[in-house]
Amino acid sequence: MGRRIRHIQRYRDIGKAFARNGFGFIVKELGLMEMLNLPKRFFIRDTSEIQTKTTGERIRYFLEELGPTFIKMGQLASTRPDIFPPEIIEELEKLQDQVRPLPYEDVRQVIEEELDASISEIFQSFDEDPLASASIGQVHSAQLHSGEQVAVKIQRPFIKELVKTDLEILQHLAILAESRTDWGAKYEIRKIIDEFSKSLKNELDYLNEGRNAEKIANQFENIDHIYIPQIYWEYSTDQVLTMEFIKGVKLNNKLLTLEKAFDRKIIAERFVHAILHQVLLEGFFHGDPHPGNIFVLPGNVIAFMDFGLIGRITPQMKDSIASLIIAMMSKNTDGLIRAITQMGVVPDEVNMELLRTDLDNLREKYYDIPLSRVSIGEAVNDLFSVALEHDIRIPADLTLLGKTLLTAEGIAESLDPDLSIIHIAEPFGKELLRQKYHPKRIAENFWKNSLEYGEMLSDLPRRLHELTSIMKKGKLRMELTAPELDRVLNKLDHISNRLSFSIVMLAFSLIMTGLIIGSSLGRQTSIIWDFPAIEIGFGVAFLMLGWLFYAIFKSGRF
């Protein structure tokens, strides 16, 4: 509550931005009107301009209006086609991250505070005009006293505090959305915000970006035509990153087309090969390889820049991708379902028959089409569309992989329209399958599973003891889904009726036995023995038994 009071003005900004872009109903659903005491005039406005814009456009304007945190969130959301439909993704990809440059005095202050030295002591020269400027930071060229040309990335002052505030507010709004709205609960908004928050915090740590650059550089240490800039750690902190200055031509620069020194076909092939090497073999890849982050150096050498966004593919994910490839090659729908189930979080209520039908249709779409004519980008989009349709949540790294492959294919096609990314991917796919079924890998998995099963068995007595204790205390909980409930209740009815029948039969037997024994022992004369008790008791018990039989059999639940 204290944080909410401190951030009340930011809450109001967000509420007004919702209203201005046609999302006033969200403010009402979340209860922000009462909490923020927003005037109703914000929600009674001319909607003619709003109605001319698509939902995707209004979301984009909303995010751009609220600044760096929301823009970055939107850019991260554009990598999640399993959550957002294509028309929203298309608009999120247009988000602009251009802002006015920081004044040089602010840049100098950040550098000197972070590196604990004057700027003249650190650099022989420093260009006051930035090479690029974005909402989180900007880049300047400089020269070290040792003579090396460097690019210095400086984080904007107070950006961490602003992002922290916005993330706290977003997490609170996500809690409200999940508790008050059906759509918030359905899409598990808190998990999405937490996931995006983690990625954004990683981007704010420049030391993390430097480590990412070095790790990818190690992947290509024996490949001459891929270049990763060197990181100067002695001049880097979590808010200042100093790296080797790369002088080349961006992939989106027209000079690449005009300059005869560059071979576009070779560049396209090397670029795709580098992306697939990172993704399928290393499992650690550049997550944002758009043309502005790729430079071409003399000799058709490709240099990657900006390593804030990185994707990771675990061995388990690689296995799932390999299974998916096998299933698609063999036209096996069951295999596709198993692979998607391994890759994502399949909700319990998913309609498996409908999922099977959609995957059958997807399989038929690519049936008998030559690999050279298959668009990997379109195939990835189709797969994610099926996942979105059935509320299957794909892990973030896998959707980032899909986005990376889409970007790579688009760049490759712009450089060489005749290039088939599938043909280049074929040897990587074979290597992936070879790794999956390599005897050593199989043995390692068997040994790992054996250890896990051994631990489970050794832990079984303790678990059983805990279960017994819970049962003794009467605290054992059972969860039954609706489809099972009627069947279980019906079964319980059958059991209870049979139990009742058995108890009555037992009671009848005991009564008759007691009467017979009593009569055999009572040789002396007595009024009670002159009375026909056995015959009357037998008659009453027989009538009761007959009535019980009739009731049970009539219910049909014996």
Please return the burial class of 339, using the count of CB atoms within 10 Å of its CB with bins 0-12, 13-18 and 19+.
Answer: buried
Instruction: Measure Cα distances from 96 to 60, 129, 409, 439 in Å.
Output: 9, 21, 23, 50
Per the structure block, which two tokens stand in for 303? 């240099």
Tracing tokens 């019906």 back to the chain, one arrives at: 490
* Residue 314 neighbours by CB distance under 10 Å: 12
Per the structure block, which two tokens stand in for 412? 């490759």
350, 382 contact by CB (below 8 A): no
Helix (H) or strand (E) holding 337: helix 333-343
Catalytic residue set: 288
Give start and end residues of each alpha helix (H) in 78-223.
86-92, 104-115, 119-122, 159-180, 182-186, 189-203, 206-219
CA 275 – CA 290 distance, rounded (Å): 12
* Residue 299 neighbours by CB distance under 10 Å: 11
Per DSSP, the three-state class of 96 is coil
**CB proximity list for 190: less than 8 A, separation 6 or greater:** 171, 174, 175, 178
**CB proximity list for 263: less than 8 A, separation 6 or greater:** 300
303, 248 contact by CB (below 8 A): yes
Nearest to 53 by CA among 82, 20, 96: 20
